[in-house]
Amino acid sequence: MCSAECQRIPKLGETAEVMLRKGVLRMECQSSRGSYSKLYTNEPRSLYPRGREFMSENELRQLIPFLHDKNPQVRQIALANLLGHSNKESPHRAIFLDGLRSGGLQHAQDNDVLRSLKLLCRDQLATAHDAFRALINLSDNSLVITSLSDPLFLQFLVSYILNHSSTLADLASMLLSNISASATVCASLLSMTIPIVPDAQAPSGYYPPQSRSGTCLTPVPYPSDEPREVQVLPLLLDAFVQAAAPAESGDKTKQKRKGELHFISSVFANTSTAHRALLTPEDSRVSVPPSTVEAPGMDILPYVLLPLAGPEEFDLEDQELLPSALQFLPPTKTREPDPVLRLTHVETLLLLCTTFWGRDFLRKNGVYQIIRALHESETVDKISEHIERLVNFLKREEGPETTSDGIQITTSTNSPSNPANDSDDEDNRIEEI
């Protein structure tokens, strides 16, 4: 039925013959109404207009088994045709959600589509790219988030982001940012560990084995040391610091740098119970539920503020409020030139304001002074609007309803924290592609 150039694929579902030729997947199905053919392609829609505009939901479902086909080209083309239907507005989005369940008396249950998409995130570049995009689009659904919060996938996602050679780290960061809106995911991240292998040749000094996939490199030669389990939060903080460092001209990792910053601002700050651990100085120890183990604070505030600081001189009284790393900066100090990164840092500060303890800490550590100087020189309207929101949080009067929160966090050097009242739901936004 097809020429020698065509490649036969095993039959699935209905009596079906799939032929792969020149990037086009053609499925010929036989039913009681006779035979018909349908064209599926990963080429631009203008070349094959029938490929995506006239597929019915039943025909789309026939593509699902091909997501785990042995032929990588078949997987890629099938996913490329399904990707456009993962958007919130798609009338056929239900094909990704059927069969999902969570909570109640029954255990959470995946469906074939999500299981395949999670596996395809480890596939070759084009396929993994579309798999991440589909999951990002679907991650506004609580049942999908439950599926994506299984420990194995979360460990892969974190390990993939931490691997400096990961090509799609920005998409993985966006996905983790979206699902961190779930308290279950945040709690998992607080207690999660991943294996790492010391590797002197890696920029971070280690290689996370669980990041292994078709879009990140395995070190050659492979490190000979034994893997050890490490908490993910310190590793993610290191990734944030490295991403925040100024990029050299022509640096091709700038896109990943932005992705990691987006991730750290959303995921860490969404975890409101971890605010004290994020802001506490390294010479103090803090424990954050569900963990009872005290560990040194992360002291991220200087790293968040430094890119926003300029060469301005402050009064001595204001200088004393600032973290030591921001005191008496030289007149040659310049602000972060990239407006996207400046906005990300301001959004990070906004998210840290969702607890009274966080707002009070920012007030006492000179955040208002840095932000005030930034506002005077800012030329981007969107950033100026976010700065004004931040100033409103820092300068407004606190009443009993805003100083009484429910977060119980203890430290070995500080007094018990005031509980926190989460606000700014719009900051816990879902990114959709």
Q: Bigger pLDDT: 156 or 46?
A: 156
Q: Percent of the chain at pLDDT above 70?
A: 69
Chain-wide mean pLDDT for the chain?
A: 76
* Mean pLDDT computed over 270-296: 78
* Domain residue extents for the chain: 1-137
Residues 6 or more apart whose CB falls under 8 angstroms from that of 420 comprise: 272, 275, 354, 355, 356, 357, 358, 405, 406, 407
CA distance 73 to 66: 10
* Phi and psi, residue 197, nearest 5°: -115, 120
Q: pTM for the whole thing?
A: 0.61
Contact 297, 285 (CB under 8 A): yes
Contact 329, 370 (CB under 8 A): no
Q: In 3D, which of 159, 154, 150, 134 has the Cα closest to residue 67?
A: 134
* Confidence class for position 191, pLDDT limits 50, 70, 90: confident
Interval 169-180: pLDDT, tens: 888 988 988 888
Cβ contacts of 162 within 8 Å, gap of 6 or more: 194, 204, 208, 211, 232, 235, 236, 239
Q: Which of 72-86, 308-322, 419-433 has the lowest mean pLDDT?
A: 419-433
27-65, pLDDT tens digit by residue?
Answer: 433 333 333 333 444 443 333 333 444 578 888 888 889
pLDDT of residue 76: 93
Contact at 8 Å (CB) between 118 and 111?
Answer: no
